[in-house]
Structure 1
Amino acid sequence: MHAVLGAADALGEPLIGLVGDPAFYHRFGFVPSRSIGITAPDSSWGDYFQVRTLAQYDGMTGHFSYAGPFDRL
């Protein structure tokens, strides 16, 4: 996880989103997305959809969308 966070930060990504157990991912700085104004792709995910802001995060809010290929899964 630390390698992924570091790589995304180095590439200038503003945040990372994932679906997972809040108790586990909290240790890496993830918070429920709605706590910072980001809505999940699927509202039924609730607190399991989490985000971790990175250095380029500028306070953006709104609907989170995964990259196009994930929509076809």
Structure 2
Amino acid sequence: MEARLPWLLTVVLALVFSSSSGEYVGLSENQCAVPAKDRVDCGYPQVTAEQCNSRGCCFDSSIPGVPWCFKPLEKSECTF
């Protein structure tokens, strides 16, 4: 049992840090830099940041009165 304790602790800490590492999982901060007035809702009432991110959306709860879970900006393609 003692040999399993460090492994279990490592797994638990990895889960804690991975869930609190940011609000833009899989998306860049630039993709989520959508002005509040331009946000397109991507969630539902009481959606969590993790649930929102799993839908491929951005989550930002710092501005009341606008969608907190919203569609990211489209990746722009290089035209060179």
User: TM-score of the superposition, structure 1-length normalised?
Assistant: 0.25
Higher relative contact order (CA 8 A, sep 6+): 1
Choose 1 or 2 for highest CA Rg: 2
The normalised TM-score by structure 2 is: 0.24
Higher share in strand: 1
Question: If each structure's helix is expressed as a fraction of its own residues, which one has the higher value?
Answer: 1
